[in-house]
Every structure is written in structure tokens, then in C-alpha cells.
Amino acid sequence: MANSEKHPWTREEFEAQLRGMERYYHIHHPYHTLMNEGKLTKGQIQGWVANRYYYQVSIPRKDANILANCPDRETRAKWIQRIMDHDGHPGDPGGIEAWIQLGMAVGLTREEITSEQHVLPGVRFAVDAYVNFARQAEWHEAASSSLTELFAPKIHQQRLDNWPEHYPWIDKDGYAYFRKRLTEARRDVEHGLEITLDWYKTREQQDRMIKILQFKLDVLWSMADAMYMAYINGMPPYFNVGA
């Protein structure tokens, strides 16, 4: 049956389909399962934190692209909060600073983190693909691509629950980022879902949204693949050709 002949999903069915995509979330990537089971070395944890920094600094640029393409004032007034969450505002140093604190808690220096010297090309390409998608896509589509955040509170909570036991060498002050995201991600998801469930009406459009969410899941999975190759297989780019 062609897409156009299929019945559209109801709001509830559509939301259930989106939530069902959790099976492809990076929580299931071996880099993350090893991390959650306490099986990563200090260097492998440091590699993850240093690389994820590039995601952290790119998220507000992604959100600024969505704002730039959005003619709806009410949406912009809400969406701008995401930029402030990460970049900070008076009274809150912001998520990027909290991530740097996490980096220092795992033994990296501020300079090592902010210089992006450890960021792998594969991670950079994956994250840049997300920012570029937000720049070029119709704004509802770009906004809806944030919905991997549906699955994020669980992964942040797992880290808060398991890291102190598995990685006692990490300074507890470093965990503020994960705590901060628990509430922020839930609020983001509420707004993101509202936009998404209102926007995609026909089954063809809803199927397209599933593909957009898959793209975003691919971004996160590909980041973890690049880190697995470099830090677990010991095969960073050019490892075999010498300096």
C-alpha cells in the first residue's frame, strides 16, 4: 500500500511510534553499555567526556539555527530557553560550563576540553551533520529532530545512579550536568512533542518524521562508533601509519 493510502496515526499512535524508536538510542551502544556497567578505563571515560564536549557546544548553535528559521514568536520565546540552558545567563553558568566541570572531575584540564584537541573527526562530522540539518530544514522538522531527548533522562539517571559506585575516582561535583538535564530535558520534550504531534498530519508526513528521528539517532550512534574505534579498539585515525 502506498504511503498516501495509509491511514494517519492518531496522536497517541504517533507518539507511541516515536517512543518505540528508543530501541536505536545510543543507550544500547556498546560504548554506553560498557560505561554504565563500570567497565571503562579512566582514559576511555575521559575520551567520551572530551568528545561529547563538541556536542555540548554545538547544541546552542543548532538551536540558534532553528530560531533563525522560525517566524513564530511564541515558539521562539520558548525555544530560546534551550540556548540559555547551555550558554548560561545571569544566575546560571549554563550546561557547557557544567560539562567542563564534569571534564575536570574526570581528570582533564579546562584547556584540554575547550581546545577540542581530543575531538575525533568522526564525532565532529556527526555533530556537524546535526547542526547543518537544523540550518537547512524546515523549522518544525528541525525542532522535531531534538526528540531523541525523549530517551535522555533515563541515560542521565543511569549515570547518576551507577557512576559513583563504578568510578569512585570521579569528583562528585562533576555530576551537576546530569542532574540539571533531568528537568530541562523533560521540559524540552514537552514542547518538542507538542510541535511535532501538531505538525505531522498525514501518514506520509509521519513516516518522514520517523526518518528524521532515525537520522538523529544515527548522529548519536555514529559518535559512539568513532569513540569505540579510537578508545576501545585502539584504532584512532591514522593509528597504523605513524606520526
Q: Does 140 bind ligand PQQ (CB under 6 A)?
A: no
- Shortest approach of ligand PQQ to residue 239 CB, angstroms? 27
Nearest to 56 by CA among 163, 157, 184, 211: 184
Q: How many CB atoms lie within 10 A of CB 115?
A: 12
Q: Does 149 bind ligand PQQ (CB under 6 A)?
A: yes
Beta strand ranges found along the chain (DSSP E): none
Q: Does 152 bind ligand PQQ (CB under 6 A)?
A: yes
Residues 51 and 103: beta-carbon distance below 8 Å: no
Q: Does 144 bind ligand PQQ (CB under 6 A)?
A: no
CA distance readout (Å), 145 to 49, 78, 236? 23, 17, 29
Residue (182 or 202) nearer to ligand PQQ, CB = 182
Stretch that binds ligand PQQ, among 9-17, 118-126, 145-153, 231-239 (CB under 6 A): 145-153
Q: Please give the torsion angle defined by the CA atoms of residues 112, 116, 106 and 48, in that order, rounded to the nearest 10 degrees.
A: -150
> What is the grid cell recorded at 105?
572531575
Q: Does 21 bind ligand PQQ (CB under 6 A)?
A: no
Stretch that binds ligand PQQ, among 13-21, 35-43, 114-122, 143-151 (CB under 6 A): 143-151
**Which contacts (CB < 8 Å, 24+ apart) does range 125-128 have?**
125/222, 126/218, 126/219, 126/220, 126/222, 126/223, 126/226, 127/54, 127/55, 127/58, 127/219, 127/223, 128/58
With 0-12 / 13-18 / 19 or more C-beta atoms within 10 angstroms meaning exposed / middle / buried, residue 66 is: buried
Residue (40 or 203) nearer to ligand PQQ, CB = 40
**What is the identity of the amino acid at 64?**
A
Q: Does 146 bind ligand PQQ (CB under 6 A)?
A: yes
- Shortest approach of ligand PQQ to residue 181 CB, angstroms? 5
**What is the identity of the amino acid at 146?**
S
- Shortest approach of ligand PQQ to residue 123 CB, angstroms? 13
Stretch that binds ligand PQQ, among 40-48, 108-116, 147-155, 193-201 (CB under 6 A): 147-155
Which of 51, 148, 196, 222 binds ligand PQQ (CB under 6 A)? It is 148
Instruction: Report the site for ligand PQQ in 180-239 (rule: CB under 6 A).
Output: 181, 220
Q: Does 49 bind ligand PQQ (CB under 6 A)?
A: no
Whose cell is 523533560? That residue is 186
Instruction: Report the site for ligand PQQ in 57-116 (rule: CB under 6 A).
Output: 59
Residue (160 or 235) nearer to ligand PQQ, CB = 160
Residue nearest to ligand PQQ (CB): 148
- What does the binding site for ligand PQQ look like in residue numbers (CB under 6 A)? 59, 146, 148-149, 152, 155, 181, 220
